[in-house]
Amino acid sequence: MESPLNRYRSFTVLVLVIFAQLVLLAVQVKNDQNVSVIRSWTVTAVSPVARVLEWGRHSSVGFIRNYVLLRDAGEENRRLQSEVDRLKVENVFLKNELNLADRAKALQSFAARVPSRTLAATVFASAAGSDSNAVLVDRGSVSGVERGMGVVTPDGIVGKVLKVYAMTSMVGLINDQDFAAGVATQNPQVRGVLKGQGKPMCKVDYVPFEDKIAPGDLLFTSGEDHIFPRGFPVGVVKSVRNGQPFKEIWAEPSGLRRGVPEDVLIILEGVHQDIPEAPSTQGVYINSSPPAAAQPEESASPASVGTEADRARAQAKAIGESQGHPFGSADGKIPDFNANHPLPPPPAAAPPGAEAPPASTRRANQAAGASPGGKQDR
Amino acid sequence: MSYSSGRILLSSQREGQVSRFRPWVILVVPLAAILFQVYIPLFFQFLKFLEMPLLVVVYFGLMRRNQIGGLLTGAMVGLAQDSLSKNPLGMHGIVNTLVGYFAASVGVRLDVDHGVIRFLLALFFYMFHQMLCWMIEQALPLGHQPAFKIDEWLVFGVLNAIVAVALFHFLDKLRESA
C-alpha cells in the first residue's frame, strides 16, 4: 500500500521547501520590538499548543487522580479518618486537662479564700459496695490526714475522713447514713443536725417546731460538731414539715449536687468563719395616720402634739396655771417649774401591725454575738 | 515556430510530452536569467520590468511537468534572486517555489506548446508572482508598505507574457530530442 507521503510526494516536498524558506525568512526579519520573526512565530505557535498540552495533562492527571485512582482516595480517606479519630481523642484529653486545670484553679482560689488550713486531694475511686457512700482520695497519713477531718469543696461540704491509710484515705460522703454535721441557717440562725440517709437528700434533725425555717433557706456548718468549722455551705432546705417536738426538714447537699466531685479539700486545721448574712427581706413599715374620730377632745391641745418641745411647753403651761401665774404679764411671782407635776400622756403608741421579734431570732442574735473565728478543736 | 494543433486541454497525461534538458541547460539558463535581471537594467533601465528568472521558472515547470523539479528550480532561482537583492532571503524563493510547482501542475493538464497558452500562463504566473510578493511584503514587518499597483502589474504582465512566448520558443531549441 502506498503511503500518503509517497502518494503526495510533490505536495509534501512543496510544503517542506516552503516551510524551510519561511523559516529562513523569519530568521532574518525582525519585528517592531526588534525580535526576530522566527522567535515571534515560534512563541506564537508554541504557546497555544503548550497551553493545550498543559490543559490536557492537568485534566488527565486530575481525572486519573480523582476518578481512576480511587484506591489512593480510599487510602487517604482511611488515613484522614484515623487522624480524625486521633484528634478526637486528643481533643477529649485536652478538654479534660482544661477542665482539670479549671477545677484546680477554682479549688486553689477557694483554699486561699478560707482561713482554715486545707489539703487538696483527688477522688480516684469509690469504696466497694453498691450501697456504699464513700470514696477514696489520694491523700493519706503521710500528707497529714487524720480520721475525722472534714472534706469540702467550694460548693459545699462533701463528707468526712473515715479511714486513713499511708497514701490514701476513705471519705464518708455527706449522704452516708453514718454522717452527721451541725448546721445553721442564715439570719435568723436556726440550728440543727444534718444527717445522711443513704439517699440524695439529707435530713436536718433537732430543729424545734417553733423555729422559723422555710424551703429555700441556705444551710451552713455551725461549727458545733468539731469536724467542720463554722461558715461552710452545706445545702438548701427543700421541704419543711411541722412535727413534735422537732420539725421534719429535708435538704439537698450542695457539695454533691453535681455528683461526687473529683477534687476536694481536706480541712487539716479548721478556722471558724462568719455565716454569711441573709439579704434583708423586711420592708420599711409606714403606719397610716390615725382616724380623726378616734381622737379624744384633749388631743386637740398642744400636749397631744407629739414633739418634745410641745410637751415641754404644755408642761410649763400646766405648772404655771396650777400656781396661778398669769402668762403674758410681768406681774406675779415666777412659778416653780421644779415642782412635781404629772406629765401629759405620750402622743403616739406602737402601731397595731408591728410584731415583736420571735424568740428564735433573739436566740440567734445572742448566738451571733458569741466569739467567732476560734480555732477548731480536734 | 511549430505550435501544436488547436486543442488546449490534454485528454490524458500520456498525451503530454515531457521535455528533457541537458543538466547544463538547467543550470546555465536560470543563471543567465538572473544575471540578465541584475545586469541589463544597469544599461537599459526600461528593461527593468522584465522578470526573466520568473519566466525561466515557468518555462522549466511547464515543460518538464515535474512538480518537484519545478518547485526546486523555483526555490533555487528565487533564493538566488533574494541573495542579490535587498529583500530578505526566502521572499522570492517562496513565490518562485509556488510558481514552479503550479506551473508543473498545469503543464500536466495543458498543451503548453501552444503559443496562446504560453502567453496566458506567463501572464497568469506574472500576476500570481506579483500578488504573492505583495502579500508577503504586507505580512512581514519590513518597515514599508508595498503599493498595490494592479494596473501596472497588468501592463508589465502582458509585456512579460509577450517576451515569454519568444523566450520559450528560444528555449525549446535547447530541449533534448526524444
How many angstroms away from the CA of B89 is the closest CA of chain A? 6
How many angstroms away from the CA of B13 is the closest CA of chain A? 16
- Quick check: B103 and B62 in contact, CB under 8 A? yes
Q: Which long-range contacts (CB under 8 A, 24 or more apart) does B84-92 make?
A: B84/B34, B84/B38, B88/A25, B88/A28, B88/A29, B88/B140, B88/B142, B89/A21, B89/A24, B89/A25, B89/A28, B90/A21, B90/A22, B90/A24, B90/A25, B90/A28, B91/A25, B91/B133, B91/B136, B91/B137, B91/B140, B92/B53, B92/B133
CB contact under 8 A, B140 and A25: yes
Please check whether residue A24 touches B, CB under 8 A: yes
- Quick check: A222 and A206 in contact, CB under 8 A? no
CB contact under 8 A, A14 and B140: no
- CATH architecture of the domain formed by A115-269: Beta Barrel (2.40)
CA-CA distance, B77 to B32, in Å (whole number)?
Answer: 11
CB contact under 8 A, B140 and A13: no
Residue B18 DSSP code: P
Please check whether residue B107 touches A, CB under 8 A: no
CA A237 centroid distance within chain: 19
Of B68, B75, B89, Cβ closest to residue A10: B68
pLDDT exceeds cutoff 80 at A193: yes
Of A14, A24, A32, Cβ closest to residue B71: A14
CB contact under 8 A, A21 and B88: no
For chain B, the domains span 17-176
CB contact under 8 A, B98 and A28: no
Please check whether residue A9 touches B, CB under 8 A: yes
Rank A213-227, A279-293, A306-320, A337-351 by mean pLDDT and report only the highest: A213-227
Name the residue among B59, B61, B40, B64 with its Cα closest to residue B50: B40
What is the model's pLDDT at position A71? Answer: 65
What is the model's pLDDT at position A341? Answer: 59
Q: Enumerate the residues of chain B whose CB falls inside 8 A of the CB of residue A13.
A: 67-68, 71-72
Please check whether residue B135 touches A, CB under 8 A: no
pLDDT exceeds cutoff 90 at B120: yes
**Between helices B67-83 and B23-43, what is the axis angle to 10°?**
30
- Quick check: B101 and A10 in contact, CB under 8 A? yes
Of B67, B91, B101, Cβ closest to residue A25: B91
pLDDT exceeds cutoff 60 at A93: yes
CA-CA distance, B44 to B53, in Å (whole number)?
Answer: 17
CA-CA distance, B23 to A332, in Å (whole number)?
Answer: 184
B79-118 b/e (C-beta count within 10 Å ≥ 16 → b): bbbbeeeebbbbbbbbbbbbbbbbbbbbbbebbbbbeebb
| More confident call, A240 vs A106 | A240
Please report which confidence band the pLDDT of residue A359 belongs to, taking 50, 70 and 90 as the band edges.
very low
Q: Enumerate the residues of chain B whose CB falls inside 8 A of the CB of residue A15.
A: none
Across all residues in chain A, what is the average pLDDT?
77
CB contact under 8 A, A21 and B75: yes
Query: Can you tell me which residue has the cell 404629772?
Result: A342
What is the model's pLDDT at position A373? Answer: 37
pLDDT exceeds cutoff 70 at B15: no
How many angstroms away from the CA of B56 is the closest CA of chain A? 19
CA angle A191, A196, A201 (to 5 degrees): 90
Please check whether residue B90 touches A, CB under 8 A: yes
CA-CA distance, A368 to A277, in Å (whole number)?
Answer: 11
Work out whether the CA dihedral A302, A308, A309, A311 comes out positive or negative. Answer: positive
Please report which confidence band the pLDDT of residue A1 belongs to, taking 50, 70 and 90 as the band edges.
low
- Can you tell me the mean pLDDT for A5-31? 84
CA distances from A340 to A141, A258, A308, A316 (A): 79, 74, 18, 11
- Quick check: A45 and B158 in contact, CB under 8 A? no
Name the residue among A290, A318, A306 with its Cα closest to residue A345: A306
Q: Enumerate the residues of chain A whose CB falls inside 8 A of the CB of residue B80.
A: none
Q: Which amino acid is at B155?
A: V
C-alpha cell at A54: 498543559
Q: Looking at chain A, which residue has its C-alpha nearest residue B140? A: A29
Considering only A185-199, A279-293, B124-138, which range has the smallest mean pLDDT? A279-293
H helical segments located in B44-90: 52-64, 67-83
Please report which confidence band the pLDDT of residue A347 belongs to, taking 50, 70 and 90 as the band edges.
very low
How many angstroms away from the CA of B177 is the closest CA of chain A? 26
Of B71, B90, B98, Cβ closest to residue A24: B90
Scan residues 32-71 of B and list those with Cβ closer than 8 Å to A.
Answer: 67-68, 71
What is the model's pLDDT at position A90? Answer: 92
Cα torsion A300, A304, A307, A310 to 10°: value is 70
How many angstroms away from the CA of B135 is the closest CA of chain A? 13
Across-strand partners of A18? none
Q: Which amino acid is at A171?
A: V
Substitution target in A25, A31, A38, A39 with the highest count of B β-carbons within 10 Å is A25
CA-CA distance, A16 to A322, in Å (whole number)?
Answer: 158
Where does CATH 2.40.10.340 sit in chain A? 115-269
